Amino acid sequence: MHISLIKVKNFRAIEDAELKLDPNQKQDLTLIVGKNNSGKTSFIMIFDKFFKKENSFNFHDFSTKIRNKIYQVIEKNIDDIVIGLTIEVSYSEEDNLEYLSEFITNLNNTNNTVKLYFECSIDEELLRSNLSNVDEEHRGRFIEKNLGTYLRRNLYVYEDESELKNKEKLIRKDVSEINKLINYQVIHAKRNLASSESGEKTSLPLSKLSTEYFNKENIFSEKDFREINNAILKMDENLNNLYENHFQGFFKNIRDFLGDSSLKVLSNLESRQIMSNSSKVVQMDDNEDFLPESLNGLGNLNILYLLLQIDLKKNMFIQENKNINLFFIEEPEAHTHPQMQYIFSKKFKKMVQDIPNLQTVITTHSSHIVSQCDFKDIRYFQNSNGYIKIKNFYRDLEGMYSNNPDFFKFLKQYITLYAAELFFAEKVIFIEGISEKILLPYFIKLFDESKTEQDYTPISSQNITYIEAGANAKVFQHLLNFFEIKSLIITDIDTTDKLGGSACKVSDGKAISNETIKHYLEFYNIGFKDGAKHKEEKDKKILEWLKKVINSEIEVSSPFIKLSYQTLENNYHARSFEDAFFSINYANIYNNKDTINGLHNTSEMQEKYTDFYEITNRVIESKSDFAASILYHALISKENGEGNKIIWNTPKYIREALEWISQ
């Protein structure tokens, strides 16, 4: 028995979204990822609202797109304005159906699925009646403040989606009945932790939680606490003897004044009180000294609190032994460093493996947690113009790569190792190699500083992920379309003297070797045929395509992706980044050639030069050393008093690329 599908309707950021889980077997872990404001917290909170009596709905829980209709309750019928949560439970004949049977309406159900529909609706009649006593100008505010009083929570069972349109056909159930079937527990991201700097010396969340843990365990497992309780009883006896001696004078006065010798002071210690009032969580060092809880770092407090919470929930799940145990954990990475996030993601499943019938949902912004998970467990929440979509990352993406299974295999491994942050990026920039990796931040700094618009958001301040992909950028096309994020690919035009031939100047080029450009600009769709008799036709089509590429006349078909490579600048068309950089910075390079690393044969450099392709190939010995030295000169030239600060020019194709990604 397991939950196979969850639907949320009209709740906060979520207008209508569906989370599909494995329909055939229990999906132990579901990892919910997505950028900020994509509905992850809303998805958890709707369970809080329906499963916890103390958490009631209010006006602001309704989706923003339907709130205006609530104001019209006097004039219009609004019985369709509801918040809905649908849970589908799949079961088999081997399952214990004692509590599920309450919700099984058709014994001939061939798909073995129970559909539960939780609904929060408005008592329209009562609301209209009370609004009639409120001045019209104040009715909107009255609704906002008091709508919670008029909201009703109901639980229905249905078989077909069409039944939801007519509630009279639905079978109503008592909401409390669901608690016999499903044990819902949650650990929210707001954990009320305070570091030593907060000044809250009396607020010790670990000690309080350890007390809660102890008390819950004492209820569940009295026999396991026999030794603790026996020790407390022994302490009672010892204290009784001490009290009798200590209060001897007090008792004498009572006898003298009242003639009453029956009064005694007895010890009545309770394990819960001792744990609560006389116990604390500390951290011991090798010398048996301890660090008080209030002086622990926030990261340590968070992970300790989280682990204690998990263990507490685990025992509740095991002791209550429901058919379905549903466990939500919101942002376990809060306040913890990357290494701890890795450890948590690796060990979490082992921590909860003893819990029967468990299905866990974890929301996260951590690329470190994502990188360690099984991609089949990922569900991607996406906010597309205010509409929340929930995507099955693995299944949907696998379908998109059905014609390129090797691409998909590479992608899974690459994201795990290098680029899990793609799940949370607003934009992404792919770079060709080490030179661009070193110098791109410098070019971005120059670009940001050149902007004078007051509302301009610097590229350096935007949530952009940078990936050094080289020729493999072609593999990411479907992934980028899946995420629907603005993606810039900066690469080299890489002209050759023939298809599959040697590198040459752009002016002499007959083809290109760059597979990324070929892939995105549809080289393989131009329709030439192989074979000797088709060679002339083939070469002609390749040249026609190349001319369009050189003149930037072909656009990437996806609106989310821009391909940027060298273009004509100062009457020269470069082939590579180094070639382009030399062509627009030659004077500065020439003047500093003796102090720029990564160069050789510098004696061949002349003060004036026009064949930049040739001189670049002749004098650059190490691209990485050259790029690092260029950056070094830009950063320290003025500080060392060597005259004016060197400002390197940014190649035109990179400037234009940055303009596109900045918007």
3-state secondary structure 538-606: HHHHHHHHHHHHHCCCCCCCCCCEEEECCCEECCEECCCHHHHHHHHHHHHHHHCCCCCCCECCHHHCC
Check whether residue 552 and residue 424 sit in a common domain.
Answer: yes
pLDDT given at position 220: 45
**Distance, CA of 611 to CA of 590 (rounded, Å):** 14
Task: State the CATH number of the domain containing residue 117.
Answer: 3.40.50.300
660 belongs to a structural domain: no
Tell me the DSSP string of 412-472.
HHHIIIIIGGGGT-SEEEEE-SHHHHHHHHHHHHHHHHH---TT---GGGS-EEEEE-GGG
DSSP-H helix ranges across 71-169: 124-131, 139-146
**Distance, CA of 489 to CA of 466 (rounded, Å):** 10
**Distance, CA of 22 to CA of 250 (rounded, Å):** 72
pTM as predicted: 0.79
Check whether residue 519 and residue 438 sit in a common domain.
Answer: yes
Indicate the residue among 564, 593, 626 that finishes a domain: 564
32 belongs to a structural domain: yes
Check whether residue 498 and residue 522 sit in a common domain.
Answer: yes
Check whether residue 16 and residue 112 sit in a common domain.
Answer: yes
pLDDT given at position 93: 83
The most confident of the ranges 32-41, 235-244, 282-291, 330-339 is 32-41
The most confident of the ranges 17-21, 35-39, 212-216, 609-613 is 17-21
pLDDT: is 483 or 297 the higher one?
483
Tell me the DSSP string of 146-166.
HGGGGEEEEEEEESSGGGGG-
- Per DSSP bridges, beta strands 29-33 and 378-384 are parallel
115 belongs to a structural domain: yes
For tokens 């527990």, the residue is: 185
Indicate the residue among 564, 590, 608 that finishes a domain: 564
- Per DSSP bridges, beta strands 387-392 and 378-384 are antiparallel
Please, how many CA atoms are within 13 Å of residue 16, restricted to the half-sphere of its CB? Answer: 4
3-state SS track over 231-256: HHHHHHHHHHHHHHHHCHHHHHHHHH
Check whether residue 531 and residue 612 sit in a common domain.
Answer: no
Whether pLDDT at 218 is above 60: no
pLDDT given at position 269: 56
pLDDT given at position 200: 45
Q: Could you read off the pLDDT of 130-183 as tens digits, one per residue?
A: 999 999 999 999 999 999 999 999 999 998 887 887 777 788 998 888 989 999
Q: Give Cβ neighbours of residue 391 (< 8 Å, ≥ 6 apart).
A: 379, 380, 381, 382, 482
- Side chain identity at 344, as an amino acid letter? F
Indicate the residue among 564, 591, 608 that finishes a domain: 564
Residue 267 binned pLDDT confidence (cut-offs 50, 70, 90): low
Check whether residue 523 and residue 589 sit in a common domain.
Answer: no
391 belongs to a structural domain: no
Check whether residue 25 and residue 134 sit in a common domain.
Answer: yes
Q: Could you read off the pLDDT of 436-491 as tens digits, one per residue?
A: 999 999 999 999 999 999 999 999 999 999 998 877 899 999 999 999 999 999 99
Check whether residue 254 and residue 108 sit in a common domain.
Answer: no
Whether pLDDT at 225 is above 70: no
538 belongs to a structural domain: yes
Q: Could you read off the pLDDT of 327-338 as tens digits, one per residue?
A: 999 998 876 777
**Distance, CA of 246 to CA of 357 (rounded, Å):** 56
642 belongs to a structural domain: yes
Count of structural domains within the chain = 4
245 belongs to a structural domain: yes
Grouping H, G, I as helix, E, B as strand and the rest as coil, residue 226 is helix
Tell me the DSSP string of 23-54.
SSS---EEEEE--TTSSHHHHHHHHHHHH-TT
Whether pLDDT at 409 is above 70: yes
Q: What are phi and psi of 66, to 5 degrees?
A: -120, 0
Check whether residue 350 and residue 473 sit in a common domain.
Answer: no
**CA 115 to each of CA 4, 102, 119, 392: distance values in angstroms, whole numbers, following the listed order:** 10, 12, 13, 21
pLDDT given at position 46: 96
CB atoms closer than 10 angstroms to residue 476: 26
Grouping H, G, I as helix, E, B as strand and the rest as coil, residue 319 is helix
What's the token pair of residue 246? 């200590």
Burial label for 179, CB within 10 Å (0-12, 13-18, 19+), is: middle
pLDDT given at position 197: 43
CB burial of 579-601 (b: ≥16 within 10 Å; e: otherwise) equals bbbbbbbbebbbebeeebebbee
Check whether residue 306 and residue 346 sit in a common domain.
Answer: no
Using alpha carbons, select from 344, 315, 297 the residue that is nearest to residue 216.
Answer: 315
Mean residue pLDDT of the chain comes to: 85
Check whether residue 288 and residue 334 sit in a common domain.
Answer: no
193: left (phi over 0), alpha (psi -120 to 50) or beta: beta
Whether pLDDT at 110 is above 80: no
299 belongs to a structural domain: yes
Using alpha carbons, select from 431, 30, 392, 364 the residue that is nearest to residue 189.
Answer: 364
Q: Could you read off the pLDDT of 548-563 as tens digits, one per residue?
A: 999 999 999 999 999 9
For tokens 């008029």, the residue is: 150
Check whether residue 73 and residue 100 sit in a common domain.
Answer: yes
Residue 419, domain extent: 404-564
Q: Could you read off the pLDDT of 227-265 as tens digits, one per residue?
A: 666 777 777 778 778 767 766 665 566 565 555 565 566
Q: Taking every pair of C-alpha atoms in the chain, what is the biggest distance, in angstroms? A: 129
Whether pLDDT at 528 is above 50: yes
**Distance, CA of 467 to CA of 476 (rounded, Å):** 11
Using alpha carbons, select from 73, 38, 171 the residue that is nearest to residue 116.
Answer: 171
Using alpha carbons, select from 223, 117, 204 the residue that is nearest to residue 167.
Answer: 117
Which residues are 114's β-sheet partners? 89
